[in-house]
Amino acid sequence: METEVTRMQAEDYSLFYGQFKALNKINIKIPANRVTAFIGPSGCGKSTFLRSFNRMNDLIPSVTTTGTVYLDGKDVGKQDVVELRRKVGMVFQRPNPFPKSIFDNVAYGPRLHGTKNKSDLAVLVEKSLRRSALWDEVKDDLQKSGMSLSGGQQQRLCIARAIAVNPEVILMDEPASALDPVATLKIEELMNELKNKYTIAIVTHNMQQAGRVSDYTAFMLTDENRSGNLIEFGATKQIFTTPSDSRTEDYISGRFG
Amino acid sequence: MTSGTRRTGLEKIMKTVLLISALASVLIVLLIFVFTLKEAMPAFREIGVWKMLSGTTWRPGNGEFGILAMIAGSGLVTLGAIIIGVPLALGTAVFLSEIAPEWIVRVVRPSIELLAGIPSVVYGLFGMVIIVPLVRMIPAPGNAGFGLLSASIVLAVMVLPTIANISEFAIRSVPRGYKEGSLALGATKWETISRVMIPAARPGIISAVVLGLGRALGETIAMIMVIGNSVILPTAMTDNPLSIFLSRARTLTGNIAVEISYATGVHESALFATGVVLFILIMLVNSSARFLLKKGAQ
């Protein structure tokens, strides 16, 4: 762990919905070019925490935070949110392609950030779709609506869309929970390839999935005030075989949650 | 009789009652159309449909019954109302659904609903006292303030609640995932609204505009009060083609309302014919809207 480069980091990070403390003083270093999984029972704050990295929680007016989240050592709260979100992409639980063509879905981000040239866009769209392992299935009809694809294809389209703006980090919020096993497997294979180029943080309910895809695992749990705490963080192998906290062991072995 | 058969019987009766209620509105529309058409037939026969539609002079005393000027009047005033009203209404809808904090929404939305409840004659008064004098200040020869521009402005305010309400609902109905997906890609709020939210809400916005169009075409009393009512084919009053909107005009609805109380014979029939034209015009607008809606949904 000491040899890893840190891409994102949280330092004494707490988050409140109004008076309610949803995240309690979280400290974590997310290593670059690795897949880090967040596991824990429902309501432990893992999705909320994930959304802190690209400041999606800014959309909720009642949210306040203390502590700091860093991207490459810089406080994300002090960065331009538009630029931050270009660097920190996100894939959501439910595939959410725009009601536009496949091409326009992938080209959406690059167009926003200034790529106007048609042939540049075409190259970028192809590259992104190839990287998200969707190209061969859609290359003949890029003008087809993104909504007409299957759930698994839609999710890979959303991954292509996120990749197209050349992010450093990709956040995935239960990206396979709405998909069938075959489509899930494809997404998992994809993560394995993507981590060469991107840092991936994934929230998942599926313990096997965390075991299969991640290099590092963070286990979160609510305390007696229902606030989310980070209980344990380490290499996935170690967390799954020799957890140092008994609560982690209980959860992993299926005794609760 | 067992309770089972009694309940089946009731089922049948209710089905029939509901069917009759549903058919009633269809029947009423048909009846209105048929009777208006029947009253209009003498005019169509004596004057000729084409001659009525293309004729630019309306002099009942001379037996001249061209309604082209009124068709142009209705068309132009509706166009003007849409040009002024749609951006205003869309702006309101976007503001209320995406930008305004909750407490502003709580103040603004009821006032827009109140706007919808104001009787049109009051809009007419407002137009005569406020809008017409303002329009009169535009320097152009023959500009009296009464005319298409004043009428368009009044009408724009009148269709605003309809278009704003339905558009706001359409924008609010856009799935949250679209918005989050766009923001997460680094789009600003405005980019998200203009590139994702509004396109996704387009079918709803189109139907809102069409409902507004229908209301605008049918508006009568407020138009009579501010449009000047002269039966002339509107023309530009200066070198600027836009000055056509300073021209006085008369709408199809106004034509009927102003003259029906004293019209007899062919004149009366010609007014019914005006009604038939209006009816068909509104039907055309509605069906083209439905077509656009279907195309947008695909």
* Chain B residues with at least one Cβ partner in A under 8 Å: 101, 175, 177-178, 180-188, 191, 195-196, 199-200
Beta carbons of B200 and A99 less than 8 Å apart: yes
The answer to whether the CB atoms of A83 and B186 lie below 8 A apart is yes
Confidence at A255, pLDDT banded by 50, 70, 90: low
**Mean predicted confidence (pLDDT) in A129-149:** 93
**Residue A109: its chain B contacts at CB < 8 A?**
185-187
- At position A191, the amino acid (one-letter code) is M
CA distance B176 to chain A (A): 9
State how far the Cα of A57 lies from the Cα of A85, in Å rounded to an integer.
Answer: 12
Cβ-nearest to A54 among B101, B177, B184: B184
Report chain A's terminal Cα–Cα distance, integer Å: 28
State mean pLDDT over B17-31: 93
Place of tokens 């002099």: B59
Q: pLDDT per residue over A24-51, tens digit each? A: 999 999 999 999 999 999 889 999 999 9
pLDDT by residue (tens digit) across A176-206? Answer: 988 888 889 989 999 999 999 999 999 998 8
Q: Give the separation between CA B192 and CA B176, rounded to whole angstroms.
A: 12
Token pair 């929970």 is found at A177
pLDDT of amino acid B9: 87
Q: What is the DSSP letter of B257?
A: H
Q: What is the C-alpha separation between A26 and B16, in angstroms, rounded?
A: 66
Tens of pLDDT, residues B83-109: 999 999 999 999 999 999 989 999 999
Under 8 Å CB-to-CB from A190, ≥6 apart: which residues? Answer: A132, A133, A156, A159
Report pLDDT for B96.
95
- List residues of chain A with CB under 8 Å from any CB of chain B: 54, 56, 59, 61, 82-86, 89-90, 92, 94, 96-100, 108-109, 112-113, 158, 161-162, 165
Which residues 6+ apart lie within 8 Å of B41 measured at CB? Answer: B269
**Minimal Cα distance from B180: which residue of A?**
A56
Report in angstroms the alpha-carbon separations of B172 from A9, B140, B162, B168, B197: 35, 44, 16, 6, 9
Give the model's pLDDT for residue B262: 94
Residue B222 pLDDT > 80: yes
Average pLDDT, chain B: 92
Q: How many CA atoms lie within 13 A of B114 on its CB side?
A: 6
- From the CA of B191, how many Å to the nearest CA of chain A? 8
**Contact, B144 vs B193, CB < 8 A?**
no
Mean pLDDT of chain A: 93
Predicted TM-score (pTM) of this structure = 0.84
CB pairs under 8 A between A and B: 62
Check whether B26 has a pLDDT greater than 80.
Answer: yes
- Count Cβ atoms below 10 Å from residue B288 Cβ, excluding itself: 12
What confidence tier does B55 reach under pLDDT thresholds 50, 70, 90? Answer: very high
* Separation CA A6–CA B234 (nearest Å): 73
Instruction: Check pLDDT > 60 for residue B1.
Output: no
pLDDT surpassing 60 at residue B298: no
The CA distance from B172 to the nearest CA of chain A, in Å, is 15
Give the ranges where B48-175 is alpha helix by DSSP (H).
49-54, 68-94, 102-117, 120-126, 132-136, 148-172
Among B180, B187, B191, whose Cβ lies nearest the Cβ of A96?
Answer: B180
Yes or no: say if B195 and A105 are a contact pair by the CB < 8 Å rule.
no
Give the tens place of pLDDT for each residue, B119-176: 999 999 999 999 999 999 998 888 889 999 999 999 999 999 999 999 999 999 999 9
What is the residue whose two structure tokens read 């020799």? A242
- Do B186 and A96 lie within an 8 Å CB cutoff? no
Q: What is the CATH number of domain A6-252?
A: 3.40.50.300
- Residue B247 corresponds to which tokens in the numbers above? 């021209």
Closest-CA residue in chain B for A51? Answer: B184
B226 neighbors B150 (Cβ within 8 angstroms): yes
Residue of B nearest to A56 (CA): B184
pLDDT at B297 over 70: no
User: Mean of the pLDDT values across residues B9-19?
Assistant: 91
- Could you give the dihedral angle defined by the CA atoms of residues A6, A11, A16 and A21, in that order, rounded to the nearest 10 degrees? 110
Q: What is the pLDDT, as a whole number, of residue B247?
A: 92
Q: What mean pLDDT do residues B262-290 have? A: 92
Q: Tell me the per-residue pLDDT of B182-221, one tens digit each, with 9 for 90 and over.
A: 999 999 999 999 999 999 999 899 889 988 998 899 999 9
Q: Is A31 exposed, middle or buried (0-12, 13-18, 19+ CB in 10 A)?
A: middle
The number of domains in chain B is 1
Q: Is the pLDDT of residue A256 over 80?
A: no
| Residue B8, pLDDT above cutoff 90 | no
CA-nearest residue of chain A to B98? A59
What local confidence, expressed as pLDDT, does residue A178 receive? 84
Using alpha carbons, list the distances in angstroms from residue A154 to A127, A184, A202, B150: 17, 12, 18, 51
Is B116's pLDDT higher than 80? Answer: yes
What is the average per-residue pLDDT within A150-164?
Answer: 94
Check residue A74 and give its pLDDT. Answer: 94
Please report the pLDDT score of residue B3 as a whole number.
Answer: 65
Contact predicate B216/B159, CB 8 Å: yes
CA–CA separation, A155 and A146 (whole Å): 10
Q: What is the CATH number of the domain that holds B108?
A: 1.10.3720.10
Percent of chain B with pLDDT over 70: 97
Q: Can you give the residue range of the structural domain that contains B189? A: 3-297
Find the helix packing angle between B102-117 and B148-172, rounded to 10°: 130
